[in-house]
Amino acid sequence: MRIPLIAGNWKMNKTVAEARSFVEAVQGKLPAADVVETAIAAPALFLQTMLEANTEDVLRIGAEACYYEDDGAYTGETSPRALHEMGIPYTIVGHSERRRYFNETDDVINRKVQAVFRNGMTPIVCCDETMGRRESGEKIHWVVNQVTAALKGVSPEDAAKIVVAYEPSWAIGSGTSASTDQAEEGCYLIRQTLADIYSDDLANGVRILYGGSVKPDNIAGLMAKNNVDGVLAGGSSLDENSFIQLANYQNL
């Protein structure tokens, strides 16, 4: 049984005070974590405040990124060791914006996946896909390669805990989600890749999310697909009422 995961990715939005009031506002309005798990990945400088405001402790507070070394002379970076000490369970790794604007390569993403596991957290590994690649038929190759590269050297014990997100960059922030069939196809492809690298059993236990313009009015259709175990929502996770609706998609 894969527990659905409804995750938000705030990107570089909000302030500490706004982050606190969001977390306060969602207390008591999210489903039990063993029915539908909910998480918000936020900038590192909000995390302590969000943890303190999260009195009900149903919402998971995650990070959006971290570095691949635990400590050292890496000015401006976020330590995965420090995130773990705070009690952060999830860190997004390899978001397409990190790949595009901060030059994160498959090798860097693989090191980060290993660092997140080494520090007792779970990575939410994002795979992207451009429209050019989709139209040229290169998409299969591309998604398979990203998943394979991200998991290089990762043990089956760790890989069994991973969360992967299929996030076509042509759908991110565009207002138009991939169709439910396209989302299913991407998530299925990722599951098959995990089965090829590890085993069917492992692949069947891993949660695979779809991300890209997920909103309260399209989440139910996406979540109805067999291989879509959750969503990674950007814009629609910023507003507390919209996030509460996403989290309660089973009642929409």
Q: Which residues bind ligand PGA (CB under 6 A)?
A: 9, 167, 172-173, 211-214, 232-236
By beta-carbon proximity to ligand PGA, the closer residue of 31 and 235 is 235
Q: According to the annotation, is 235 in a ligand binding site?
A: yes
Query: In the complex, what is the shortest distance from the CB of residue 200 to ligand PGA, in angstroms, rounded to a whole number?
Result: 28
Residue nearest ligand PGA by beta-carbon distance: 234
Which residue bears the tokens 């039990």?
A: 32
Q: Which residues of 162-176 are buried (b: 16+ CB within 10 A; e: fewer)?
A: bbbbbbbbbbbeeee
Q: According to the annotation, is 212 in a ligand binding site?
A: no
By beta-carbon proximity to ligand PGA, the closer residue of 116 and 222 is 222
Q: According to the annotation, is 76 in a ligand binding site?
A: no
By beta-carbon proximity to ligand PGA, the closer residue of 132 and 173 is 173
Q: Catalytic: which of 84, 95, 104, 184?
A: 95
- To the query of whether residue 240 is one of the catalytic residues in this protein, the response is no
- To the query of whether residue 84 is one of the catalytic residues in this protein, the response is no
Q: Using CA atoms, how far apart are residues 52 and 1, in angstroms rounded to an integer? A: 31
Q: According to the annotation, is 248 in a ligand binding site?
A: no
Q: Using CA atoms, how far apart are residues 189 and 144, in angstroms rounded to an integer? A: 7
Q: Catalytic: which of 64, 104, 129, 167?
A: 167
Closest CA to 24 of 50, 58, 61: 50
By beta-carbon proximity to ligand PGA, the closer residue of 79 and 122 is 122
Query: In the complex, what is the shortest distance from the CB of residue 175 to ligand PGA, in angstroms, rounded to a whole number?
Result: 8
Residue ranges of the binding site: 9-11, 173, 213, 234-235
Residue ranges of the binding site for substrate: 9-11, 173, 213, 234-235
- Residues serving a catalytic function are 95, 167
